[in-house]
Structure 1
Amino acid sequence: MVLKGELDEEDSGMSIEKAKMMRKEILEGPIEGTLFKLAWPIIINNLIQVLYNITDTFWLGKLGRAALSAPGVSWPIIGTLMALGIGFTMAGFSIVGQYIGAGNFEKANRSAGALFSLIIFFSTASAILSILILPYALSFMHVTSSIRPYAYKYSLIIFAGVPMSFLFMTFNVLMRAIGDTRTPVKISLITVFLNIILDPIFIFILNLGVEGAALATVLSNSVGTVIGVRILTSGRAGLKISRENLKPDWKFYSKIVRIGLPSSIGQSANSFGFVVLTRIIMGFGDVTYAAYVITTRLVNFITSISRGISMAMSTMVAQNIGAENYERAKVIAERTMVINFLIAGIAVLIIGIFRVPIFKVFLNDPMVIAESKIVLEYFLISVPFFNGIFVVVTGAFSSSGHTVKSMIMSMLRLWGFRIPLSYVFGYVPTFAKLFGFTSRGVFFGMGLSNFLAAIVGLAWFLKGSWMRKIIE
């Protein structure tokens, strides 16, 4: 008879051997082949996560334009406060990934445990703070009176579920750091299946409306979190988080905070920027905002392929930097840029061709459909530059541990380019008159910001100052 502890230890040993084999492939194998091997599970996982939003958008669209817009209002608020945790998570990813690249699995486990306990604290604090500032945030964004009641109810429930959602994200990041991109997909399939089932039940059968959509999302995420935590603590993932690793370790906390704080600041500024951007877009009314929400959901769905490849690239860059294979890390990022630019370009073309029938699936509103043409022509054409260049560059900076660079790039894109340009071309008479004082000016400014950020990011990337490791 095999005792449970012995079984866990045996499983853990097998997982470490597989992790070592994956490490060898990442450091020495064919770049494109390894990239796609790591990427396809992440792509599926991204599609699954976007499907959460698509599902909510689809069902809430049956309740009308105002209910459909509720999720779009809540995410910029919550993202601002959750950004600290995101920064620390990415710092943990780069540390764990580089330790694995260096072959030091003991320190990788200790770093994973420190990251997990830190995220528990910050996600809980973010949830409480989000709920407290919600009324003020809605007022600041100038959320219209028709949307505000729906946005408030939806946001309260989503905010309460932040800790569980964040722990599940941390589990995904740790799995990706070690090169296991398949396990998160299996769990995400379970959660999205639950969400698809629970959404219509809670929204219509139980008559909970937008609150039902939020509750379905939180419950589904919680199931995934419980499964993920169990895997990490059992040792069957190649990493093992024990009670000892979860105890406060101020040395590791200090390292994670030091590396993650710049990224956290950048993420916070980035998320708050979208709060400001929502206010700018809301100035043109419910129709413009509804068109923006649906369009971005569609783009996220289709470009999940390119974003998945970027995340796989991050794993390869982190481990190659840890092994001091700097030139290989640079080539990996460069090839990812070419692949992602082509994929994002095809995605935008597909949306342009099938825009009207696709929009009618979500909301058969002639005014919103007409407005979506403006979003496409003035903003979406810039998406290949964002996904193909900017996302890859900032991903290379973050995964190598040079988070100050990714912070500067994120803040520059939003605060240096997007918000000023959107406001100037949307509201300042001298420039807004070029677009007839319509939403065209706002979306033109948003598109231009992607072009400019991509150019600056590429120039900085080519300097190569990010190609050095951060671990001892």
Structure 2
Amino acid sequence: MSMEKVKAMRREILEGPIEKTLLKLAWPIVVNNLIQVLYNITDTFWLGKLGREALSAPGVAWPIIGTLMALGMGFTMAGFSIVGQYIGAGDFKKANRSAGALFSLVLFFSTLSALISILILPLALDFMNVTPSIRPYAYRYAIVIFAGVPVSFLFMVFNALMRATGDTKTPVKISALTVFLNIILDPIFIFIFKLGVLGAALATVLSNAVGTIIGVKILMSGKAGLKITLEDLKPDWKFYSKIVRVGLPSSIGQSANSFGFVVLTRIIMGFGDVTYAAYVITTRLVNFITSISRGISMAMGTMVAQNVGAEKYERAKVIAERTMVVNFAIAGFAVLVIGVFRVPIFKVFLDDPEVIAESKIVLEYFLISVPFFNGIFVVVTGVFSSAGHTVKSMVMSMLRLWGFRIPLSYAFGYIPAITFLGIRIPMAELFNFTSRGVFFGMGLSNFLAAIIGLAWFLKGSWMRRIID
């Protein structure tokens, strides 16, 4: 996208029709997100051919990986917010400098994260209480993915910078190429080279590396509206300080959120391989739904960042409210479809009668809450992050997982009875110490977090910009 196109897109974002502009920005991001979900679905599909244990390996590894990715994602979101607001304010020189500094910071941070993560992996698997049958698969998968963390981080930065300019089409083209490579490489590495889960991880890392190389070349060529030079990549301690100040709360929140899923894995593992396999497949389906909602929310984020940068706060609020309605409707329809076609959908991944029976529990007690998560919670935290108010998004993320999901899942799944406001709630009688209690707690956390998030959004304390 040329500079002229960036300026034209800026005018449309600040002054054009909201729904039309949102759709224009959103559809490439939605496609891009769906393509990214195909990475996981492809791995799940092929690994399911090797059995329940191999299928569960990525599900065990990704909460650990997500904890590290979340650290970088917080800084990336801070950079996205700053670059987007500079573009909204019309200061393109500072936007370019900020983009370059973000790139160099994330490169250093991601390399350090990769080294640390490899060292702590055995301890993380011990903490999650991973069953002996799954552990060797999860370990091999995670080691390779950890080694590829730097390229994953840089590809994430490239996508964020493109969104900040209003260019949502270029990332989807590159992501389509990487997924196409992954789809080809997965069966070759898994079955022909007989590498199993190791092959699935290698396919993912190599595909990501190709996308990262292309993205870096685009940013340094100036064809992206932004142009990063070698001078821009030099350390900028003033900018780093701002990135850390703005991004650290988001990083802490998202990392705590991801680590929460490590704890949640331990809780679910207590009910055995069947329950965990059903959970892994369900999360793949939820990720598919969420990828659509997050795509629309990310497009909204571009519009919110630039409108906040231009101090058009009421327009930013209206954009967010309309996004909530759209996301809730889409997620509700998707959950309905999964409910109707649950059995054939699960059989695509794993034709296991026990797992399919368990999936009914996951649907009834957890999946029905997803529209509230996607329609309200995702949008609210996206507004807070895009406006640069990352402490708010951090608080919301930590509240949903640590304040609600983990305590409620554990309480309803393992505790015989609790007393709340003087009322005794007989957990054992309600759920009989089965996985129903865990999934009920997970679903309830989505409802509660959505209600609190909506109230905070309506208060309007996020309606101020963070740039000079």
Measure how far apart 1:78 and its partner are.
1.5
5 Å matches for 1:206-245? 206-245=193-232
Partner deviation per Cα, 1:216-246 (whole Å, 9 max, x = no partner): 0000000000000000011100001100000
In the other structure, the counterpart of 1:18 is 5
Partner deviation per Cα, 1:11-55 (whole Å, 9 max, x = no partner): xxx700000000000000000000000000000000100000000
Measure how far apart 1:296 and its partner are.
1.2
In the other structure, the counterpart of 2:57 is 70
Partner deviation per Cα, 1:379-431 (whole Å, 9 max, x = no partner): 00000000000000000000000000000000000000000000000000112
Q: Is the 8 A contact 1:90 1:399 kept in 2?
A: yes
Number of residues of Structure 1 aligned to a counterpart in Structure 2: 459
| Equivalent-residue separation in structure 2 for 1:432 and 1:304 (angstroms) | 36
| Equivalent-residue separation in structure 1 for 2:220 and 2:248 (angstroms) | 27
Match of 1:434 among 415, 427, 430: 430
Alpha-carbon spacing, 1:471–1:147, altered in 2? closer, same or farther (3 Å): same
Measure how far apart 1:81 and its partner are.
2.3
Normalising by structure 1, report the TM-score.
0.97
Instruction: Provide structure 1 residue ranges, at least 5 long, that are not aligned to the other structure.
Output: 1-13
1:391 partner letter: V
| Equivalent-residue separation in structure 2 for 1:149 and 1:300 (angstroms) | 25
Measure how far apart 1:471 and its partner are.
0.2
| Equivalent-residue separation in structure 2 for 1:392 and 1:411 (angstroms) | 16
In the other structure, the counterpart of 2:115 is 128
In the other structure, the counterpart of 1:159 is 146
Partner secondary structure for residue 466 of structure 2: coil
In the other structure, the counterpart of 1:6 is none
Partner secondary structure for residue 259 of structure 2: helix
In the other structure, the counterpart of 2:463 is 467
Measure how far apart 1:307 and its partner are.
1.7
Partner secondary structure for residue 194 of structure 1: helix
In the other structure, the counterpart of 1:263 is 250
Instruction: Provide structure 2 residue ranges, at least 5 long, that are not aligned to the other structure.
Output: 418-426
Measure how far apart 1:112 and its partner are.
0.3
| Equivalent-residue separation in structure 1 for 2:71 and 2:347 (angstroms) | 38
Q: Is the 8 A contact 1:303 1:343 kept in 2?
A: no
Match of 2:14 among 27, 33, 52: 27
Measure how far apart 1:433 and its partner are.
3.2
Q: Is the 8 A contact 1:281 1:289 kept in 2?
A: yes
In the other structure, the counterpart of 2:334 is 347
Match of 1:57 among 44, 50, 59: 44
* 2:401 corresponds to 1:405: no
Measure how far apart 1:82 and its partner are.
2.7
* 2:414 corresponds to 1:414: no
Give the aligned CA root-mean-square deviation in angstroms.
0.7
| Equivalent-residue separation in structure 2 for 1:352 and 1:303 (angstroms) | 16
| Equivalent-residue separation in structure 1 for 2:276 and 2:262 (angstroms) | 13
1:282 partner letter: M
In the other structure, the counterpart of 1:4 is none
In the other structure, the counterpart of 2:279 is 292
Between the two proteins, what is the percent identity of the paired residues?
85
Q: Is the 8 A contact 1:299 1:347 kept in 2?
A: no
Partner secondary structure for residue 468 of structure 1: coil
In the other structure, the counterpart of 2:424 is none
* 2:295 corresponds to 1:308: yes
Partner secondary structure for residue 246 of structure 1: coil
1:161 partner letter: G
Match of 1:445 among 441, 445, 455: 441
In the other structure, the counterpart of 2:318 is 331
| Equivalent-residue separation in structure 2 for 1:435 and 1:230 (angstroms) | 55
Normalising by structure 2, report the TM-score.
0.97
Match of 1:456 among 439, 442, 452: 452
Alpha-carbon spacing, 1:468–1:454, altered in 2? closer, same or farther (3 Å): same
Runs (4+) off by over 4 Å: none
Match of 1:363 among 342, 347, 350: 350
Measure how far apart 1:434 and its partner are.
1.1
| Equivalent-residue separation in structure 2 for 1:231 and 1:412 (angstroms) | 39
5 Å matches for 1:363-382? 363-382=350-369
